[in-house]
Structure 1
Amino acid sequence: MTVRRIVANIAVDTVPEARKFYCDLFGLEPVMDLGWIVTLASHETAVTQISILSEGGSGAPVPDISIEVDNVEEVYRRAKEMGCKVVHNLTDEPWGVRRFFIHDPAGNLLNVLSHLS
């Protein structure tokens, strides 16, 4: 048996608002839209992962979703321009990531990160 994909399902009150947020902030593109569900995707291929946490690290709460990007500073700038409230400031963490936390329009806590090289 092989796991082919893991999909994050986000409950929202308004699909268009969440769609705009994720498309504008992360450059995701809709690949399916049935009105009540929209699937957004990047064209990158990634290893299937699931993280199991007892804490969010560095005293942070456990995020609902972690999103790895190639340029966390750029996404941080966009998030600030969009008026997102930063919950955990842009920080280099001792385990080798640079990250920040924000909430999406539905209140989900997002951990936005890049790996340090």
Structure 2
Amino acid sequence: MKRLLLMLAFSLFITNLYAQMKLNAGIVTSKITESKKFYTEVLGFGVTFENDFYLLLHTPNKQAEISFLLPEHASQQPLFRAPFAGKGVYLTIEVDNVNEVYEKMKAKKVDIKIAIRDEPWGDRHFAIQDPNGVGIDIVTYKAVPL
């Protein structure tokens, strides 16, 4: 019984530990000013924190964050100093009404990289690109009948 209680307590501890996990994607770039302008003006993100070498932004609903860090900054370890090369990364932003967001992007004259479309698996989406070369897929997921 004591062993069972210890196992249960440990299991709850581990579950709670991972329940507190949150992801913040970061991009090492010299384009912090351009990134701030793009994400705040085009996508409506807010500024969580910024200083002369780091910028942390949040989605309008504050459910996710993205950060930008100047390359080769003396405060950072070598792992976080090399600049992003502009390829091989994408972000997906799920929205309630992709048609509405698409029309807003067109009205703002945002460069649409992939026009709005429906996929056989149920997504309706379009894509834009941030100043760092990151593709951004803006999507509304739809259930597909089996």
**Fold-level similarity (TM above 0.5):** yes
Alignment of 1:1-117 (within 5 A): 1=14, 2=18, 4-42=21-59, 43-45=61-63, 64-116=90-142
Q: How many angstroms apart in 2 are the aligned matches of 1:115 and 1:10?
A: 26
- The one-letter code sitting in structure 2 at the alignment partner of 1:108 is V
Q: TM-score, normalised by structure 2?
A: 0.59
Which digits, 9 at most, give the CA deviation of each residue in 1:38-83, with x for residues without a partner? 111133547xxxxxxxxxxxxxxx7611111222223222322333
Cα drift, residue 104 of structure 1: 0.8
- The one-letter code sitting in structure 1 at the alignment partner of 2:50 is D
Residues 68 and 113 in structure 1, CA contact (< 8 A), matched pair in contact too: yes
Residues 99 and 111 in structure 1, CA contact (< 8 A), matched pair in contact too: yes
Structure 2, unmatched stretches of 5+, are 1-13, 65-87
Residues 25 and 78 in structure 1, CA contact (< 8 A), matched pair in contact too: no
Q: How many angstroms apart in 2 are the aligned matches of 1:5 and 1:75?
A: 26
Q: Which has the higher contact order (CA 8 A, sep 6+)?
A: 1
Structure 1, unmatched stretches of 5+, are 47-61
Aligned length: 102
- SS of match in other structure, 2:25: coil
Runs of 4+ displaced beyond 4 Å? none
Cα drift, residue 21 of structure 1: 0.9
- SS of match in other structure, 1:10: strand
Q: How many angstroms apart in 2 are the aligned matches of 1:76 and 1:13?
A: 28
